[in-house]
Chain A
Amino acid sequence: MLKYFISFLTVIYCTSIFSQEKINDSLYKSTYGIKLGIDFSKQIRMLTESGYKGLVVVGDYRLFEKIHIAFELGNEEKFVKNEVLNFNTKGNFFKAGINYNVFKNLQDLENEIYVGFRFGSSKFDHQLNSFTIYNVDQYWNQNNIENLISFDNLHI
């Protein structure tokens, strides 16, 4: 029984060596190029979160085997209301960066699990609808201010 088992291991060992050689010798095709898509999480967020609207287009270009140049273009609108603030924000953003694919693909597979970074720039407008003045002393009772104030063309 034991004898049989050892010989079985040897066979496996041999095949593994053979298969490795095969990979080293052969060339296989892999796709490079541009990839486009939309960030679907924004559409899901539009359904689940009231006061939010957004569309984000994402894309990347495969530059090297594991390195992709990535970019995102987006437009978002959000209405925020909490105890002290009530405002609308809308704007556009652009992000660019690099993705590094950490997924070890088997032959012919092109999966991606990547880590990456982005540089971003955005332009947006705020419209403040109403706000509360933080004042512990309520003597004059005029801490709620309904006043439209616009802050346009802000950059980050």
Chain B
Amino acid sequence: MKTLKNNRILLGLFVFLLSCEPDDICLTSIEDTPRLIIGFYDKNTGELKEVTNLKIQGHDNEEVYIFQTLDSIGIPIKNSDNLTTYSLTKDFNENTLNSGNNDNLHINYSYNWEYISRACGFKTTYELTNLIIENDSNNWILDTDLINNNIIDEKNIHVKIFH
């Protein structure tokens, strides 16, 4: 009877040891590197206002990030630089070269690589320093406002752009 009990303990120990596995699957429920969430607001009323035919493209990037009419967007910022520059072109027309009103947005920030897990690796979180709109003769962006300096998730708007 006693040996039977001991055997059970041993068996239990075996099952316990076998059940330990490294976590080698990165679940999609785990949040990845957050993007910078921008909301476009009306300068006068302070309410969300769509930007018509907005083209967003990063500097030094040949690919257009997005081209559509929208009132808020998340844009990715660089993982290992302190500056990401985007050109935001309002009223862009695909058929006409250099159409629309182009404003350059410089995003200054510091970044931090944060360990998630063995399967997911790292993610980057950012702390915004400031936003600079490059002055030109005809800026469509009138003002910016930092709502949340810490970009750690995509739940809320980080930056308001007034136009």
Q: Is B90 an interface residue (CB 8 A)?
A: no
Residues of A within 8 A of B77 (CB): 140
Residues of A within 8 A of B30 (CB): 134
Residues of A within 8 A of B142 (CB): none
From residue A105, how far is it (CB to closest CB) to chain B in Å? 12
Residues of B within 8 A of A5 (CB): none
Q: Which of B44-52, B97-105, B121-129 contacts A (4 or more CB under 8 A)?
A: B121-129
Complex alpha-carbon distance, A134 and B84, angstroms: 19
Where the two chains meet, the residues of B that have a C-beta atom closer than 8 Å to any C-beta of A are 3, 6, 9-10, 13, 24, 26, 30, 32-33, 35, 58, 61, 63, 65, 76-80, 84, 113, 116, 118-124
Q: Known pairs A102-B9, A104-B3; list 17 more (Cβ under 8 Å).
A: A84-B119, A84-B121, A102-B3, A113-B10, A115-B13, A132-B121, A133-B122, A134-B26, A134-B120, A135-B79, A136-B32, A137-B32, A139-B61, A139-B63, A140-B77, A142-B79, A145-B79
Residues of B within 8 A of A102 (CB): 3, 6, 9-10
- Can you list 21 contacts pairing A with B, beta carbon distance less than 8 Å? A82-B24, A84-B120, A85-B121, A102-B3, A104-B3, A113-B10, A131-B121, A132-B121, A133-B79, A134-B33, A134-B116, A135-B32, A135-B76, A135-B79, A135-B124, A139-B61, A139-B63, A139-B65, A139-B76, A140-B79, A145-B80
Residues of B within 8 A of A145 (CB): 79-80, 113, 122
Of all chain A residues, the one with the shortest Cβ separation from B119 is: A84
Residues of B within 8 A of A132 (CB): 121-122
Residues of B within 8 A of A83 (CB): 121
Complex alpha-carbon distance, A85 and B77, angstroms: 22
Of all chain A residues, the one with the shortest Cβ separation from B6 is: A102
Number of A-B residue pairs having CB atoms within 8 Å of each other in the complex: 74
From residue A150, how far is it (CB to closest CB) to chain B in Å? 14
Pairwise interchain contact A140-B13, C-beta atoms closer than 8 A:
no
Q: Is A92 an interface residue (CB 8 A)?
A: no
Pairwise interchain contact B79-A82, C-beta atoms closer than 8 A:
no
Pairwise interchain contact A140-B118, C-beta atoms closer than 8 A:
no
Across the A-B interface, the 3 shortest Cβ-Cβ residue pairs: A84-B121, A135-B33, A102-B6
Residues of A within 8 A of B63 (CB): 139
Residues of A within 8 A of B9 (CB): 102, 115
Residues of A within 8 A of B122 (CB): 84, 131-134, 145
